[in-house]
Amino acid sequence: MGGDLAACPVDPIQAITNRLFIYSELSVPDRIGIELFTQSLDSKSPLRIRLSRPLNETISRFFERLSSSLFVKKKHRESESSSPIECTLYQCKLPPVNECRPPQLEKIEPFGSTIGEVFSAIVNEEPDAAHAVYLLIHSETDVLYKASFNPARILKCRFEIWPMVDCPVVPRLEASNMDIEQTEFAWFVTKTNIWPSEPCHRGFIFFPNEAHVGGRLGLRIAARDARRRQGVPFGNAKQYSAFGELVECKWLVSASPNQSYHLNRTCRIRCQESEENNSRRFRVVSYNFLADMYASMESARNSIFRHCPLECLDISYRLPLLLRELLNYQADILCLQEIDNWVFHYYLKPILRLICDMDGIYMPKRLVVEEPGPPVRLVTLLDREKNEGCAIFYRKSKFELLRQAHLPSILAYAAEQPQILPLMNDLNDAYSRRSSESTPILDLSIMEKFPVDWSSCLEKSKAHCLMVLVFRALAPEFGSTDSESISKQPHLIVANTHLYFHPHGDGIRMLQALTIRHHVFTVREEIQSGTSALVSVIIAGDINQSTKGPAYQALLGNEVTEDSMKQSNIALHPEFQMQPTYVIESPQFTNWVPDFRAPLDVILYDAHSGLSCMHIFPLCSAAEITRLAMENTRRLTGQDKPQCRGQPVSDCDLYALPNRAFPSDHLALIADFKWPPMN
């Protein structure tokens, strides 16, 4: 490429009103995208051109293609012939430091260069203002465009959640190079056919209020990158505007169900907190969300969740209620299970970052697929991810993330551990024997709902993961950022998991629990060997087993036995005893569906380290859940009770979880902890 110092015939200031965007095509890496907006004087209407060109195309051919597009569009508007269109590239050049004159535009002579040679380096390394690139299009009127490389772009924007009073509403955005905190969001609500000229709210997250009920909801977005540069307008409008086309929600704003239980359980604690020193306190929440991929299955809707109205099972209804509930709990650490991949990335991560200053880590389960037969069999692909998994969020003002020590597959790790491998072999042998039994001694009523294929059970259980994060506490009481103070700051190991689900999977769950203990306390010993600070452990999750089962006892560190295992009185790391935050006795529960209720969720901690549990938040009774669900059903639908599907549901289970007021089939566990004094 050569250069010509001949002055550009158009003042660069005029380029402000004309937009040219150049970007890499994400889906097609060997092409480049170009979008051009013009307001030239010889045009009778705005013009927007979109081109996608191969990187090996010459610049001269690209100019011909661009000119052709301009010419065709002009001919479409004008009957008379148009003058030829020419294109020229310029780059801004600064004068020598000893000369007081404005920058000059130097003509770029690309000759036979390709688009890739001319633009790719610029796209990958954005030029600063002093070296900006311009495109001059010469026709009846010369029009100069200042090129913007790799601009913020909204690829898709839509509403997937029902706008309800006091519940957060955000769009689902798929974008490139866009910074949510720098981007402008303008929200509009109208009860007529005309949208107001001024928004009712600005910001990524919108909370409708009572005055908005019955109104249509719309959103316009001005995409910006981290440097606040204006991006490509969303939509197909030909007239350039920083704010793209309005995106309308398909649902009207509606009243939200009464979730007074979620508000009341936290209010009881806040009165006590005001009288306490909170600098050493932190709150942990464990919650199974009920993944949409399970709630939307036809088989689940007509069996396990046959009591729940279909609209209340839909994620568009449940997600805003789940988000409101999480925000109300004001957690410092969130351990979440059954999180859809898209829920984590498009909703939880941005909302919790912007409102709570929390960062989050996601660990999907492994993918289980069918291999064609004969015979057809299930195979767990350890290198492939399922669209559902676990997540941990932490408040950045209270914790610094030091290390991640996850197990993508708990049982794949177990097979590599000499202490656990004999137990795993016992389990494999036991399940092989059961597979060959003609009449296994099992509860036949359970088998009708959950058929037993022992080889499939073992294979499916390999998909389950364990999240382990190591944090350093950042409370002011723990000192400043000097090395001596840092060495004394407490460390916290947080483990989050979701164990295998099957009524006859006790042996599998116990093996998973033993493996979790082994791994977590191996990590603890590694951390403790490198610091004199206190190191504490919290294990949370949905263990799919009650407190009387072997998995629960194994997590606590108690000796356990299991018929499937030859070894008895098994205990790994017995010196580390875990304590439960909740001691749940019947009739209490954390999971309730028709014909079943049990305490399946846990938050455990090692009290011997000095960590103490200050408060736990009360669980809701079946009677209270029924009362709230019944009130909301009558208030929002006018019906006395929901219409069930499939097999009949007993009256005592008509308002099991989920329902109109409770968006998951689980209840959240909430515990407040306190570090011991530094001395």
Q: DSSP labels for 322-388?
A: HHHHHHHHT-SEEEEEEEEHHHIIIIIHHHHHHHH-EEEEEEEEEEEEEEPSSSPEEEEEEEEEEEE
What is the number of alpha carbons within 13 Å of residue 543 lying toward its C-beta? Answer: 30
264 three-state secondary structure: helix
- Comparing CA positions, the residue from 474, 496, 460, 51 lying closest to residue 280 is 474
In eight-state DSSP terms, residue 608 is G
Cis, bond preceding 375 (omega within 30 deg of 0): yes
Alpha-carbon distance 84 to 301, whole Å?
Answer: 65
Q: Could you give the CA distance from residue 166 to residue 180 in angstroms, rounded to a whole number?
A: 22
Report helix, strand or coil for 673: strand
Place of tokens 């009360």: 618
Q: Are 120 and 32 in contact (CB under 8 A)?
A: yes
Tokens 């704010």 correspond to what residue? 243
Candidates 557, 451, 555; CA nearest to 505 is 451
Q: Domains in the chain, ordered, with CATH?
A: 2-149 (no CATH), 152-256 (2.60.40.2700), 260-674 (3.60.10.10)
What value, to the nearest 5°, has the Cα angle with vertex 488 and ends 484 and 489?
115
Residue 581 CB burial class (10 angstroms; 0-12, 13-18, ≥19): buried
Cα separation values, 561 from 282, 516, 553, 586, Å? 35, 17, 10, 23
pTM of the entire predicted model: 0.90
**Residues 6, 221: Cα–Cα separation, whole Å:** 40
Around Cβ 147, how many Cβ atoms within 10 Å? 23
Phi, psi of 389 (to 5 degrees): -175, -155
Nearest to 620 by CA among 574, 580, 670: 670
Q: Which residues contact 342 (CB under 8 A, 6 or more apart)?
A: 172, 387
For CA atoms 289, 294, 295, 296, the dihedral sign is: positive
Percent of the chain at pLDDT > 70 equals: 84
Those residues with Cβ within 8 angstroms of residue 411's Cβ, 6 or more apart along the chain or in another chain: 424, 461, 462, 464, 508, 511, 512, 515
For residue 175, give the 3-state DSSP assignment.
Answer: strand
What's the pLDDT score for residue 40?
Answer: 47
- In DSSP terms, 58 is beta-bridged to 114
Q: With the C-alpha atoms ordered 625, 627, 630, 634, is the resulting torsion angle positive or negative? A: negative
Q: What sign for the dihedral angle of Cα 190, 194, 197, 203?
A: positive
Q: How far apart are CA 550 and CA 554, in angstroms?
A: 6
The residue whose two tokens read 């910001």 is: 203
Instruction: Report how far Cα 495 is from the mean position of its chain's Cα atoms.
Output: 19
Query: b/e map of 433-452 (b: 16 or more CB within 10 Å)?
Result: ebeeeeeeeeeeeeeeeeeb
C-alpha 323/C-alpha 349 separation (Å) is 11
Give pLDDT, residue 4: 46
Structure tokens at 666: 């689980």
Residue 448, pLDDT score: 43
CA distances from 546 to 149, 602, 665 (A): 57, 10, 16
Find all residues with CB under 8 Å of 509, minimum gap 6, and list them.
499, 500, 543, 544, 545, 549, 550, 551
Distance CA 99, CA 51 (A): 40
Q: Helix, strand, coil % (nearest 5) of the chain?
A: 30, 30, 40
Per-residue confidence (pLDDT) for residue 79, from 0 to 100: 47
Q: Which two tokens stand for residue 186?
A: 């303008």
Chain-centre distance for alpha carbon 208:
22
Q: How far is CA 170 from the centre of its chain?
A: 13
678 exposure class (CB count in 10 Å sphere: 0-12, 13-18, 19+) = middle
> Which two tokens mark 618?
């009360």
pLDDT in the model for residue 565: 56
pLDDT of residue 563: 59
Counting as low any pLDDT under 70, the low residues of the chain are 1-7, 12-17, 39-44, 71-83, 97, 99, 101-102, 110-112, 120-131, 266, 268-277, 434-453, 477-485, 562-572, 679
Return the CA Rg of the chain: 31
